[in-house]
């Protein structure tokens, strides 16, 4: 069955799974399809809240007829694919997005981040994201704000226009870990202060003190490890002095 087109029964099962609030992976196991197939099907047909099996099947049938009668032309919104098959990029996008959602990232934020990850340039404008994801500019703006706050993306000025570009670089994992470490350090400090106020010999105070110490030790190990491996795997050329 994998590789074959979805049947009306498959789409009914997908709709039922969405009503039951199952993950895309669980729905895929139920109908014997890859997670990426389910994710792509849902996102192309209204998203988890707007998916309707009958409408999705009609749209699929209509698109199949169009593909047989119309010669394919390059999409202006997909110039970032580097000549790759859009279906392959969509599959990678869907798999990446599903993993990010399972890790706790909200769906729209995961879609934007996955799109940036799978572009060779690592950056897209708001208009490009709107065209690629078929969502409103407001949805993109909200996702960008969240991702910026998590130190996952940054803003850049487009050298060819006045538009801003939203970029992800090779340091994104490192920067995200360091931002998380700073947040966890703040939590550890709050726990330590609270322990002192409640009294370190009380059960609550001891619990807070132990939590603070645990977090501080783990964060220290994490930061050291991140800095070590960042030096090894960073793709940026090392800085040289003027005398070199």
Say yes or no to pLDDT of 63 above 70.
no
Q: Helices H, strands E: what count in the chain?
A: 11, 3
pLDDT digits (tens, 9 = 90+) for 82-97: 666 777 777 777 778 8
Say yes or no to pLDDT of 69 above 60.
no
Q: Which residues sit opposite 154 in a β-bridge?
A: 167
Most confident of the ranges 34-43, 105-114, 127-136, 213-222: 213-222
Answer with the residue of higher pLDDT: 202 or 122.
202
Query: Using 50, 70 and 90 to split pLDDT, how confident is the model at 81?
Result: low
Give the Cα-Cα-Cα angle 149, 152, 157 (nearest 5 degrees): 90
Say yes or no to pLDDT of 209 above 90.
yes
Q: How high is the mean pLDDT of the chain? A: 82
What does the pLDDT average to over 157-171?
81
Helix, strand, coil shares, percent, the chain, to 5: 65, 5, 30
pLDDT above 90 coverage of the chain, percent: 29
Q: Which structure tokens are listed for 39?
A: 């994710």
Name the region of 21 (left: φ>0; alpha: ψ -120 to 50; beta: rest).
left
| Closest-CA residue to 176 (of 232, 100, 115) | 100
Separation of alpha carbons 31 and 1, rounded Å: 9
- Give the pTM: 0.55
Looking up tokens 């969240």 gives 146
Helix (H/G/I), strand (E/B), else coil: 207:
helix
pLDDT digits (tens, 9 = 90+) for 109-159: 888 988 888 888 888 999 999 988 888 999 999 999 998 888 788 888 877
Say yes or no to pLDDT of 79 above 60.
no
Q: For residues 142 and 126, is the Cβ–Cβ distance under 8 A?
A: no
Q: Which residues sit opposite 166 in a β-bridge?
A: 124, 155
Query: Using 50, 70 and 90 to split pLDDT, how confident is the model at 27?
Result: very high
**What pLDDT sits at residue 141?**
92
């Amino acid at each position: 069955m994998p590789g074959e087109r979805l049947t009306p029964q498959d789409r009914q099962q997908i709709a039922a799974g969405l009503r039951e609030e199952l993950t895309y992976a669980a729905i895929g196991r139920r109908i014997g399809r890859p997670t990426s197939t389910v994710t792509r099907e849902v996102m192309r047909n209204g998203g988890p809240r707007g998916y309707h099996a009958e409408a999705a099947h009609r749209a699929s049938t209509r698109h199949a007829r169009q593909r047989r009668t119309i010669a394919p032309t390059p999409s202006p919104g997909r110039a970032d694919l580097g000549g790759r098959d859009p279906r392959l990029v969509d599959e990678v996008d869907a798999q990446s997005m599903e993993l990010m959602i399972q890790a706790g990232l909200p769906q729209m934020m995961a879609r934007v981040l996955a799109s940036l990850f799978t572009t060779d340039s690592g950056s897209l404008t708001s208009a490009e994201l709107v065209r690629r994801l078929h969502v409103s500019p407001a949805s993109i703006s909200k996702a960008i704000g969240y991702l910026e706050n998590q130190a996952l993306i940054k803003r850049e000025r487009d050298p060819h226009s006045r538009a801003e570009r939203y970029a992800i670089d090779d340091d994104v994992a490192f920067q995200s870990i360091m931002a998380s470490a700073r947040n966890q350090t703040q939590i550890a400090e709050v726990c330590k202060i609270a322990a002192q106020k409640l009294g370190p010999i009380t059960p609550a105070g001891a619990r807070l003190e132990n939590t603070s110490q645990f977090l501080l030790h783990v964060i220290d190990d994490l930061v050291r490890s991140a800095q070590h491996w960042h030096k090894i795997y960073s793709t940026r050329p090392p800085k040289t002095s003027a005398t070199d």
